[in-house]
Amino acid sequence: MATGAGSPCGACKFLRRKCAADCVFAPYFCSEQGPARFAAIHKVFGASNVSKLLLHVPVPDRCEAVVTIAYEAQARIRDPVYGCVAHIFALQQQVAYLQAQLMQVKAQLAQTLMDQSSRNAENLWPGNMGLGPTGSSPFPGSFPDHMNYSNISPRVHSTPSNTTAMEFIKACKKQTVETTYSHFRPTAGRDLHRQT
């Protein structure tokens, strides 16, 4: 139908024809901006083809259909070879790039969490627990000197990077046992019954 007092819709104005009361283009192409918008649609698809297409589309969906047709027509004019596919391809490349960036950030985050977990685990090793600022036990007299974990050899703490946590714990336990029982191990020529 006419969009104003006897003025045709933008499509009919571009086609220079009288706008009928049941014009399928009238609700979507105004009299002012409609002609320029409809020009690309008519050039790419043809007014007759678009009219037939809209008649097969439910009325609630026609507005979205017109927007889509207008977008595809403008894209085809800008890129006669690929049309809107060029824009779709560019968006796909952008998505792929962002996904790669996301995977890289996730990998960095995982590595950071692993490093932090490793540092926290090192703080829980027996050689790092229960020691005062000077390396002595904060509870004097609570344990004999041979039970002080500060006597553990530093070589236990410098584990290779490929040593697992379980192997490291076993090494700590073994070193602790060796250090503990070394104080009770008799030496050559030493009288165990002699009082010091």
Summarize pLDDT for 47-100 with one digit per residue, the tens: 999 999 999 999 999 999 999 999 999 999 999 999 999 989 999 999 999 999
Percent of the chain with pLDDT over 90: 40
Residue 148 lies in a domain: yes
Residue 121 lies in a domain: no
- Do 62 and 54 contact (CB within 8 A), yes or no? yes
* Residue 177 domain boundaries: 126-185
Residues 6+ apart with CB under 8 A from 143: 137
Residue 165 lies in a domain: yes
- Distance (Å, whole) CA 188 – CA 113: 52
